[in-house]
Amino acid sequence: MKLNRKQIQAASGAIPADIVIRNGQVIDVFNLKIIHAEVAITDGLIVGIGGHYEGETIIDAKGRFVAPGLIDAHVHIESSMTTPSQFAKAVLPHGVTTVIADPHEIANVSGVKGIQFMLDDSEQIPLDVRIMLPSCVPATPFEQAGAILTAHDLRPFYNHPRVLGLAEVMDFPSVKNCANDMIAKLADAKARKKIIDGHGAGLDNTGLNIYRTAGISTDHECTNADEALERIRRGFYVMIREGSAAKNMKALLHAVTPRNSHRFLLCTDDKHLDELLDEGSIDASIRLATNLGLDPLIGIQMGSINAAQCFGMFTKGAIAPGYDADFLLLDSLEDFRIFETYVLGQLVARQGQYIGPELLPHQHASYLKRTLRLPKITREQLQIPIKNGTANVIGIIPNSIVTDHLMARVNVKDGYFLPCTDSDFLKLAVIERHHGSGKIGLGIVKGFGLKTGAVAATIAHDSHNLMVTGTNDRDILTAIQAVEKLQGGIAIVADGQILASLPLPIGGLMSDVPLPEISNGIRSLSQALIAIGFDGNFDFLLTLAFLSLPVIPSLKLTSSGLFDVMNFEEIRV
Amino acid sequence: MKLNRKQIQAASGAIPADIVIRNGQVIDVFNLKIIHAEVAITDGLIVGIGGHYEGETIIDAKGRFVAPGLIDAHVHIESSMTTPSQFAKAVLPHGVTTVIADPHEIANVSGVKGIQFMLDDSEQIPLDVRIMLPSCVPATPFEQAGAILTAHDLRPFYNHPRVLGLAEVMDFPSVKNCANDMIAKLADAKARKKIIDGHGAGLDNTGLNIYRTAGISTDHECTNADEALERIRRGFYVMIREGSAAKNMKALLHAVTPRNSHRFLLCTDDKHLDELLDEGSIDASIRLATNLGLDPLIGIQMGSINAAQCFGMFTKGAIAPGYDADFLLLDSLEDFRIFETYVLGQLVARQGQYIGPELLPHQHASYLKRTLRLPKITREQLQIPIKNGTANVIGIIPNSIVTDHLMARVNVKDGYFLPCTDSDFLKLAVIERHHGSGKIGLGIVKGFGLKTGAVAATIAHDSHNLMVTGTNDRDILTAIQAVEKLQGGIAIVADGQILASLPLPIGGLMSDVPLPEISNGIRSLSQALIAIGFDGNFDFLLTLAFLSLPVIPSLKLTSSGLFDVMNFEEIRV
């Protein structure tokens, strides 16, 4: 933001402010106190708190709390299955006015074109979308993604004013072994004094030391308080994640004290649209933290100024002069009930409804459509030979993207695995879908609890190949064909019939229709999942989508086959 | 700092580290805890804490505390009367490894040449000297300084890697009134995402709002806890100052809590060499805070990581991987007793003695010498007419650079002021010394307590004209002549004889001899001051030097005459 004489004049009272908020209880995120003070705003900037200001417009807060707009410190917008412009309409009513987005998913499908699309679609919208450049496309050498991004490919994006740094570095071996292109990516970010996000899932202390030495300064993959404290003491900012699949608040909150709370941020990472709409985003994290006993002021601090501080956004995250007038009026602090959301002084949401400027999905995304290239898949290609009745099985942990690595006896017929709904062993397949190579990885999964049918989707982290699970081969094949016909999306099938489907034509990841339609489509999917036996105790689709991510422990499946994350090697079923 | 493969390899244990510290109690400035952990260092960077590392060199800490090197967040090195290279030898034994210096004093004498000298003299020395660009030369339009620095003059310095931003903005009216050159200076810093330091002495809340709106983000001029909290809540970082003249720790410490301590920094601002050597620098501040009841870990946090954070020095201020290996071994935490100081892994001081590489004063400073231009001064020019026996008198407040504005009856002879040692009314004069204009400002001061003689100095904030105070005109004239003969410096005179003097040939502010000689000279001055009646209860010379600074309340004297700071106007005696 540039220096503006009008703002200085308004601060001094020489001219009236554009807006004055009266009768508010202002959240002071620096002292962690509540103060009674007027707030004056001019040209989108807070120019004064305290004292008495004249204003062109007066907002009577009627005793409500005035809190800074929230910041989601790390989010893959694609996981909402909406584009940034539609995502904005979902999160602004929940008080999120800035997100730090890593377009890792669309980049894995469409490379630099995907990153550019996310920048274009978020241009001139009320949500402030900052971009971190995907560092690991593909995430590991074991994957078949739609694109490969080198340091050379990323470099031009650093000139974009909304690019803050290098996104989550998840390819730990490349850092440890000083792989040339990884070193180049890290060095590029460092040379420009940009932030480098980490992804330290399961890293031991030596691993953490390596990451910090390489200049990586955040992590959103802690699963317990000890891990959080080990990271904090090494200079990491720890992001507490509450997403659809991964929920870490309860476990990490023990690590937060008034002495170190300024080193914690909040993020959603991956959250489905229906949950964003129903439950919320960072507001839900603050609500949960408060319910678990945290001072709500610390919750707000973690969800606002801390992220601004970490990422060098020096005009974001506080109700104080010199800060952007992104603010919330709250009816209550205890349950963080949001009355209104303002961005740069403009009202954009009231009582859960987006009421800002009309936002249509970006119309020039045709180059990201028709991304599926699949050969014909036959039943024979889906057979899993089992040697002695024992198999390596992926065990789902509800509400986590970490899996168990199970060794289990499974049903075998004619030397091949036979799914069994009673003992809940389902077939799982990941089919390369970017290049038509015909590569298929096969595995067995326990924990979905389906009683019939199959589910296929083109969302499968991080390479976003075609992921399918099911109780029988016929439904599995039907689901694959349904998704292929959609040119990307999700299909739920039983008895050879499509029960529900959602087209995701943009890269096979995002919808191109307005928000309410997407929302309806997702609700149909949820109903269909219940119809085929899912008990609804966790997010089925996100959990499925993460079964192919080989940088999260313990056992995963890629289009190359089963992957033992702890030993970082492929293994047989 | 660039990315370095050797450091990553050492972090991973693939190769031995250069240095490993064993048996240390590591200060964790993030969680504010003490941990027992090894520290591994390679190529000057900390590459690991915790675990076990092999090292080429082992430092056995023998149970000592391992603390980050301290950061003085705001210092005018010139006030030590030494150049940066000699200053380094004074503060490194006191654990200060980084200073954020504002070369405001030498810039007021010599303009851009003065700034360049400070950069040159601090090149390749173990103390990391970062520079803020003087924003207000001269400090006000009421002063006659040696130079005028415009935005145009400062701009080229932003390309220097050690320049962090724009130094303390003290010309409040120029900001409030949007004076063109001030706006240009602020805009230049903002456009480059550089930090802007403030100087908010006596500002009310509207004034603070104006400063923050203009992008100013620090203040080191708080004198009580309420002022500190008002600044913190507006997004300022508050620097707690303990200098020779201004001591604010005791008053401000009430404002510090575990919830807001990360927003406080420590600074000395102006501290004489003898006090730096005897009492210390930021180490003394931490010691004092601990004595006053603060958790020493919070003291260390304020004196290290907080300053690094505020100024965007992301590799400074912590014992953690990815941070520069600037560290201290402490014998005790309670009295912050420093055993050794290391910079980038190199030992530079032990038990109070500098033992790093030899540091000679910069040899190319001839262009900063012979800066005094004085016409002949006569006794007649020093007479102060008094109308009705009542005068505006500057009242000294011990250990503060703020003065009282007194109205007092003074002795008058033939219509002119007569100094009186019984009631302690001395004569004070500021003589323009840069351009030979013959301008002389005259006033009366109470509080020095001299019984005889006079004291003259070419240190007189911020324009550094010739400042003299005394009990009689003859000694005042002798002191002026003595300082003129030195071509800058300090002289103490009684009965027409020079009791002690200190040459300060670099700009009339800094000595050009090695540290021990300067130190001896300063001790002679102190003894001479006692000899002429000073009771030694505060820093005489620094207090004298600040009587001419018209941006500090309440009543000051410049070469234009008495200045009422509260009303920002010149007044009669």
For chains A and B, CB pairs below 8 A equal: 189
DSSP, collapsed to helix, strand or coil, labels residue A299 as helix
DSSP, collapsed to helix, strand or coil, labels residue A172 as helix
A262 to chain B: which residues are within 8 Å by CB? 262
Q: Answer for the pair A103, A339: CB distance below 8 angstroms, yes or no.
A: no
Region at B251 (left for phi over 0; alpha for psi -120 to 50; beta for the rest):
alpha
A259 to chain B: which residues are within 8 Å by CB? 31-32, 258, 261
Q: Determine, for residues A175 and B32 on separate chains, whether the beta-carbon distance falls below 8 Å.
A: no
Q: Which of A1, A5, A191 sits opposite B178 (nearest CB)?
A: A5
Q: Determine, for residues A193 and B5 on separate chains, whether the beta-carbon distance falls below 8 Å.
A: no
Sheet holding A55-60, edge to edge: A45-49, A39-42, A17-22, A55-60
Q: Determine, for residues B187 and A50 on separate chains, whether the beta-carbon distance falls below 8 Å.
A: no
DSSP, collapsed to helix, strand or coil, labels residue B538 as coil
Q: How far apart are CA A341 and CA A21, in angstroms?
A: 13
Q: Answer for the pair A397, A405: CB distance below 8 angstroms, yes or no.
A: no
Q: How far apart are CA B477 and CA A297, in angstroms?
A: 63
- B536 contacts chain A (CB < 8 A): no
Angle at B262 between CA A223 and CA B295, to 5 degrees: 95
Q: CA separation (Å) from B93 to A406, B154, B282, B328, B356?
A: 59, 33, 11, 10, 10
The C-alpha of A440 sits at a distance from chain B's nearest C-alpha, in angstroms, of: 35
- pLDDT category, A477, cuts 50, 70, 90? very high
Element (H, E) at A74: strand A70-75
- A3 contacts chain B (CB < 8 A): yes
Residue A495 has a CB neighbour count (10 Å cut-off) of: 12
What's the gap between Cα A464 and its chain centre? Answer: 15
* Among candidate residues B131, B163, B134, B155, the one with its CA nearest the CA of residue B146: B134
- A194 contacts chain B (CB < 8 A): no
The distance between the two most distant Cα atoms of chain A, rounded to a whole number of Å, is 87
Q: Determine, for residues B259 and A28 on separate chains, whether the beta-carbon distance falls below 8 Å.
A: no
Spans of chain B, pLDDT less than 70: 1
User: In the 8-state DSSP scheme, what is residue A510?
Assistant: B
A163 to chain B: which residues are within 8 Å by CB? none
Rg (alpha carbons) of chain A, rounded to whole number: 24
User: Average per-residue pLDDT in chain A?
Assistant: 96
Q: How far apart are CA A384 and CA A96, in angstroms?
A: 46
- pLDDT recorded at residue A142: 79
- B413 contacts chain A (CB < 8 A): no
The C-alpha of A304 sits at a distance from chain B's nearest C-alpha, in angstroms, of: 13
Angle at B251 between CA B246 and CA B257, to 5 degrees: 125
Tokens of A152: 């050379």
pLDDT, mean of residues A172-197 = 96
Q: Determine, for residues A30 and B186 on separate chains, whether the beta-carbon distance falls below 8 Å.
A: no
> DSSP letters of B177-209?
TT-HHHHHHHHHHHHTT-EEEE--TT--HHHHH
* Among candidate residues B174, B134, B168, B169, the one with its CA nearest the CA of residue B153: B134
Instruction: Please determine, for residue A1, whether its predicted confidence score (pLDDT) is greater than 70.
Output: no
Q: CA separation (Å) from A414 to A286, A389, B191, B520?
A: 54, 11, 71, 97
Tokens of B380: 């007649």
> Which residues 436-465 on chain A approach chain B with CB closer than 8 angstroms?
none
- B17 contacts chain A (CB < 8 A): no
Instruction: Please determine, for residue A263, whether its predicted confidence score (pLDDT) is greater than 90.
Output: yes
Q: Determine, for residues A323 and B235 on separate chains, whether the beta-carbon distance falls below 8 Å.
A: yes
Q: CA separation (Å) from B24 to A343, B63, B244?
A: 49, 5, 34
A19-30: per-residue pLDDT in tens?
999 999 999 999
- pLDDT recorded at residue A552: 86
- B411 contacts chain A (CB < 8 A): no
Q: Determine, for residues A212 and B322 on separate chains, whether the beta-carbon distance falls below 8 Å.
A: yes
- pLDDT recorded at residue B2: 76
What's the gap between Cα A358 and its chain centre? Answer: 24
Interface test with B, best of A185, A209, A260 (most B CBs within 10 A): A209
Q: How far apart are CA B284 and CA A75, in angstroms?
A: 45
- B389 contacts chain A (CB < 8 A): no
* Among candidate residues B264, B268, B289, B266, the one with its CA nearest the CA of residue B277: B268
Contacting residues for B40 by C-beta, under 8 A, at least 6 apart: A209, B10, B11, B17, B19, B20, B21, B46, B47, B48, B49, B53, B55
The C-alpha of A461 sits at a distance from chain B's nearest C-alpha, in angstroms, of: 28
> Which residues 221-240 on chain B approach chain A with CB closer than 8 angstroms?
229-230, 232-235
What is the DSSP pairing of strand A96-101 with strand A353-354? unpaired
Q: How far apart are CA A503 and CA A511, in angstroms?
A: 7
B30 to chain A: which residues are within 8 Å by CB? 232-233, 235, 260, 263
Instruction: Determine what percent of chain A is predicted with pLDDT higher than 90.
Output: 91
Q: What HEC string does B480-523 produce? A: HHHHHHHCCEEEEEECCEEEEEEECCECCCECCCCHHHHHHHHH
Residue of A nearest to B11 (CA): A210
Residue of A nearest to B203 (CA): A12
* Among candidate residues A102, A95, A93, the one with its CA nearest the CA of residue A73: A102
Reported ipTM: the value is: 0.93
- Do you find a cis peptide bond into A514, omega within 30 degrees of 0? no
Q: Determine, for residues A209 and B31 on separate chains, whether the beta-carbon distance falls below 8 Å.
A: no
> Which residues 323-362 on chain A approach chain B with CB closer than 8 angstroms?
323
Tell me the one-letter amino acid at A473: D
Q: Determine, for residues A205 and B50 on separate chains, whether the beta-carbon distance falls below 8 Å.
A: yes
Residue A385 has a CB neighbour count (10 Å cut-off) of: 12
DSSP, collapsed to helix, strand or coil, labels residue B417 as strand
Residue of B nearest to A49 (CA): B209
The C-alpha of B357 sits at a distance from chain A's nearest C-alpha, in angstroms, of: 27
Q: Determine, for residues B258 and A262 on separate chains, whether the beta-carbon distance falls below 8 Å.
A: no
Q: How far apart are CA B329 and CA A7, in angstroms?
A: 48
Q: How far apart are CA A471 and CA A428, in angstroms?
A: 9
- pLDDT recorded at residue A245: 82
B32 to chain A: which residues are within 8 Å by CB? 259-260
B5 to chain A: which residues are within 8 Å by CB? 178, 183
User: In the 8-state DSSP scheme, what is residue B119?
Assistant: H
- pLDDT recorded at residue B139: 83
Q: Determine, for residues B213 and A35 on separate chains, whether the beta-carbon distance falls below 8 Å.
A: no
pLDDT, mean of residues A274-294 = 97
Q: How far apart are CA B211 and CA A322, in angstroms?
A: 8
Q: Determine, for residues A13 and B206 on separate chains, whether the beta-carbon distance falls below 8 Å.
A: yes
A342-391: per-residue pLDDT in tens?
999 999 999 999 999 999 877 778 889 988 999 999 999 999 999 889 99
Q: Which residues partner with B396 through β-bridges?
A: B403
- B420 contacts chain A (CB < 8 A): no
Q: For B294, how many CA atoms within 13 A lie in the half-sphere containing its CB?
A: 30
pLDDT, mean of residues A522-548 = 95
A10 to chain B: which residues are within 8 Å by CB? 213
Tokens of A426: 């389902």
DSSP, collapsed to helix, strand or coil, labels residue A572 as coil
A214 to chain B: which residues are within 8 Å by CB? 3, 8, 11, 322
Report CA dihedral (B313, B317, B323, B329) to the nearest 10 degrees. Answer: 150
> DSSP letters of A90-140?
HHGGGTEEEEEE--HHHHHHHTHHHHHHHHHHTTT-SSEEEEEEPS-SSSS
The distance between the two most distant Cα atoms of chain B, rounded to a whole number of Å, is 87
- pLDDT recorded at residue A12: 97
Q: Which of A9, A210, A213 sits opposite B45 (nearest CB)?
A: A213
What's the gap between Cα B488 and its chain centre? Answer: 20
Q: Which of A183, A212, A320 sits opposite B320 (nearest CB)?
A: A212
Q: How far apart are CA B458 and CA B105, in angstroms?
A: 11
Tokens of A499: 């029960």
- pLDDT recorded at residue A153: 98
Q: Answer for the pair A247, A241: CB distance below 8 angstroms, yes or no.
A: yes
Residue B552 has a CB neighbour count (10 Å cut-off) of: 24
> DSSP letters of A206-274?
HHHHHHHHTT--EE----SHHHHHHHHHTTPEEEEEB-SS-B-HHHHGGG--TTTGGGEEEE-BS--HH
Q: Determine, for residues B2 and A187 on separate chains, whether the beta-carbon distance falls below 8 Å.
A: yes
- pLDDT recorded at residue B341: 98
User: Does this model's pTM top 0.90?
Assistant: yes
Angle at A200 between CA A198 and CA A203, to 5 degrees: 150
Residue of A nearest to B301 (CA): A259
- A376 contacts chain B (CB < 8 A): no
The C-alpha of A12 sits at a distance from chain B's nearest C-alpha, in angstroms, of: 6
Tokens of A521: 């489509």
- pLDDT category, A551, cuts 50, 70, 90? confident
* Tokens 């010199």 -> residue: A322
> Which residues 162-191 on chain B approach chain A with CB closer than 8 angstroms?
175-176, 178, 183, 186-187, 190-191
What is the DSSP pairing of strand B25-28 with strand B17-22? unpaired
Q: How far apart are CA A277 and CA A279, in angstroms?
A: 6
- Do you find a cis peptide bond into A554, omega within 30 degrees of 0? yes
Angle at A454 between CA A449 and CA A459, to 5 degrees: 100
Q: Determine, for residues A212 and B321 on separate chains, whether the beta-carbon distance falls below 8 Å.
A: yes
- B161 contacts chain A (CB < 8 A): no
Q: Determine, for residues B12 and A51 on separate chains, whether the beta-carbon distance falls below 8 Å.
A: no
Angle at B122 between CA B119 and CA B126, to 5 degrees: 150
Instruction: Please determine, for residue A10, whether its predicted confidence score (pLDDT) is greater than 70.
Output: yes
The C-alpha of B34 sits at a distance from chain A's nearest C-alpha, in angstroms, of: 10
